[in-house]
Structure 1
Amino acid sequence: MQTHLTGRDMITPDEWTDDEVNTIFEVAFDLKRKRALGEPHALLRDKVLAMMFFFSSTRTRVSFEAGMAQLGGHAQFIESRTTQISHGDTAKEIGEIVGRYCDGIAIRQVDWGVGNQYIRDVAQASRVPVLNMQDDWYHPFQALADMMTVFERFGRDVRGKTLNMSWAYASSYQKPLSVPQSLITLATRFGMNVRLTRPPEFKLMPEIMDLAADNARKSGGSFEVMDDFDAGFAGADVVYPKSWGATMTTTDMEESKRIGDQYKDWIADERRMEMALDHSIYMHCLPADRNIEVTDGVIDGRHSAVYDEAENRLHVQKAVMALTMR
């Protein structure tokens, strides 16, 4: 375990070493055990986390607020439209000033071409850790929770296990790329055989693709790109079909929707789950478009791990806060 993480930003686990990432999991499992046993763990007593949201949230807000309370601290919910950001507060000023009031700053800003840079600008100006609650590039805590869930189901050695990160159709809105991008770069670090299954218009960023391929080479796993939805399920241990926008093809969200409408048959259903291994798990970051992106029979069925996955958001977030905000 690493013990030198106080003050570190968490913008993406890609910027943390393997030892440091494994330390997160060690602490997360310990904190989950403590919560299950009712053992107090007020490791951040009197600490304050500022949570700034530029985008709506359910799991992220609730889990960060609950996590800070369980660690003995306090979380401030700040909706960006209630601030002076639209009247001139810059990222530098947010970092400088909020970082003097609070002991950590968490930000969700997913606007395309804006979010990641904004969080990095705040972090550069802040004297306290900045935690990325999701941006246009990354969703680090979701990926950490995803891997924790995989470890719970298959053990800590997941080398050779197959994870299918797949696009699926959704009609609600054009979702960010950040979940698939974060998961493929993290899972490939642990020697998994990672498939990225998507229609040709739904590419991910080339930098992310290169990193996933490099991680797979170093870990002894594999990384492949597929465009056959059914084939992605075949023989998989973990299936993770979810929607994201065709942002690498067009930044016009209406055009992205029109492209997606060509693939309405990309739905996770019972027939496709039968193509995966019998012990396979279905994962999704939620919310899912029920009976459009995934059938009720799958998301509520025996393969589903979505609620354990959602719970693990709490534990990995507490681990990172405890490690960085002391």
Structure 2
Amino acid sequence: MHSLLRGKHFITTQEWTVEELEMVFSLAERLKQEFATGQLHDHILRAKTLFMIFFDNSTRTRNSFEAGMTQLGGHAHDLSPDKLQISHGENAKDTAMVLSRFGHGIAIRHCSYGEGNKYIREVAKYSSVPVINMQCDMYHPCQILADYLTIRERFGRNTRGLKLVVSWTSAPKYVRPLSVPQSLILMMPRFGLDVTLAHPPEFELMPEIVAQAKKNAEEAGVKFEIVDDMEYAFKDADIVIPKSWGPLVHTQDKEEGVKLIKKYPKWICDSRMMSLAKKHAIYMHPLPADRGFEVTDEVIDGPQSVVYDEAENRLHVQKALMALVMGGRP
């Protein structure tokens, strides 16, 4: 497969043009159709290797990448620091220099606040093969690709004018990263969606990300607003993505973070909240969802929920991404 994107790192959608991202969606749609009809495409990355390094546990990310590599004809190594010399102090440069001589791509998930993105960029600096961000403390670009493909499937390719709500929800079991909401507010305006970000005061996102999202919206000629009222945000929405994240900009203390999350138990997506959105509105979540805190069973298991379509689309967009950056002419 010839690819103009061969060898390009994928750390954030912000570093890819809309046209380049469209290449991913176009190929993902084709590969999804082939998968559904039983057509094989195992020639695309035949005998190629992806090294997956997980600093954090994973269900959808690990399995969608590994299955995707198998279906493209390649192989994925499931790695973690304890399986590598990272656990003994090997630095990012040495890991990158060695693994990139063994295979054809490196994918990393590292969500520690203030560390993850820096580590991925350090690996990318020294890697001679493309590096894919499987989620860090700042971005979760593959998830957002799957989200947008799901939206296109429901509303058509012209998504201009749709109202998308990214809302904080209360989930006190643990403090979650900022990467999903930040990636959503960055990419969705670039494809013509009006974005409303809703959260309590202590749960603001990184200022530099918010500033870039505002700039993206201005350049695309769409709306971007930030509110502190979940009900107001949901009014007349076409797409709602209620998702918990931690007060990490406010504090990195885990105990204080959990206390702040528990302060807002009414920030939950239930049927009353969904009734404020448009009748055709869809409910989305990257999963795992904290049922009973982030969302009620009635909503997540209801007719407006597309969470499993969204999860499946991780496979297809990542296959397209890997084909484009790891494939092409040798």
Which range, TM-score by smaller chain? over 0.9
- Equivalent residue number for residue 299 of structure 1: 300
Cα deviation digits, residues 209-257 of structure 1 (max 9, x gap) = 1111111111121100010011111100000001000001001111111
Aligned pair in 2 of structure 1 residues 325, 3: CA closer, same or farther (>3 Å)? closer
CA contact (8 A) 2:234 2:274 kept: yes
Structure 2 letter corresponding to 1:304: S
Match of 1:149 in 2: 150
Match runs of 1:258-277 below 5 Å: 258-277=259-278
Contact 1:196 1:226 in 2 (8 A): yes
* 1:158-169 superposed matches below 5 A: 158-169=159-170
3-state DSSP of counterpart to 1:141 = helix
Residues 201-212 of structure 1: matches in 2 within 5 Å? 201-212=202-213
Identity of aligned residues (%): 54
1:37 correspondence with 2:37 = yes
Contact 2:24/2:320 (8 A) holds in 1: yes
Measure the CA separation in 2 of the matches of 1:270 and 1:18: 35
1:276-302 deviation per Cα after TM superposition (whole angstroms, max 9, x unaligned): 000000000000110111000000001
Q: Is the 8 A contact 2:236 2:278 kept in 1?
A: yes
Q: Give per-residue Cα distances to partners, 1:1-54, cap 9 Å, x unaligned.
A: x94100000001100011101111011111101101111112000000000000
Residue pairs, 1:49-88, within 5 angstroms? 49-88=50-89
Take 1:321 and 1:178, find their aligned partners in 2: how far apart are those partners? Answer: 21
TM-superposed deviation, 1:206 = 1.0
State the 1:191 CA deviation. Answer: 1.3
Deviations 1:136-176 (A, max 9, x none): 00000001100111111101111110000000000221000
1:134 aligns with 2:135: yes
Contact 2:173 2:258 in 1 (8 A): no
| 1:227 to 2:265 alignment | no
Q: Distance in 1 between matches of 2:107 and 2:232?
A: 38
The 8 Å contact of residues 3 and 325 in structure 2, kept in 1 or not, is answered as: no
Partner of 1:50: helix, strand, or coil? strand
- What is the identity, as a one-letter code, of the residue corresponding to 1:292? F
Partner of 1:22: 22
Distance across 1 between alignment mates of 2:222 and 2:33: 30
Q: Per-residue deviation at 1:207? A: 1.2
Q: CA deviation at 1:72?
A: 0.4
Aligned to 1:173: 174
Counterpart secondary structure, 1:201: helix
Cross-structure match for 2:11: 11
C-alpha separation in 2, matches of 1:95 and 1:124: 8
Give the whole-Å Cα distance in 1 for the aligned partners of 2:3 and 2:56: 33
1:285 and 2:267 matched: no
After TM superposition, list the pairs within 5 Å mapping 1:110-125 onto structure 2. 110-125=111-126
The answer on whether the counterparts of 1:47 and 1:73 sit within 8 Å (CA) in structure 2 is yes
Partner of 1:95: 96
Aligned pair count? 325
Superposed, which structure 2 residues align to 1:246-257 within 5 Å?
246-257=247-258
Aligned Cα RMSD in Å?
Answer: 0.9
The residue number in structure 1 matching 2:217 is: 216
- Letter of the 2:16 counterpart: W
- Return the alpha-carbon distance in structure 1 between the equivalents of residues 293 and 211 of structure 2: 31
The answer as to 2:40 corresponding to 1:46 is no
The 10-residue stretch of structure 1 (75-84 or 27-36) with the greater mean CA deviation from structure 2: 75-84
1:88 deviates by 2.1
Counterpart of 1:105 in structure 2 is 106
Provide structure 2 residue ranges, at least 5 long, that are not aligned to the other structure. none
Task: Indicate if the aligned counterparts of 1:141 and 1:316 stay in contact, CA closer than 8 A.
Answer: yes
SS at match of 1:66: helix
Amino acid at match of 1:165: V
What is the DSSP-based 3-state SS (H/G/I as helix, E as strand, rest coil) of the residue aligned with 1:56? coil
Partner Cα distance (1:44, 1:172) in 2? 40
1:311 shift after superposition: 0.4
Normalising to structure 2: TM-score of the pair? 0.97
Distance 2:126 2:19 in 1: 27
3-state SS in 1 of match to 2:202: coil
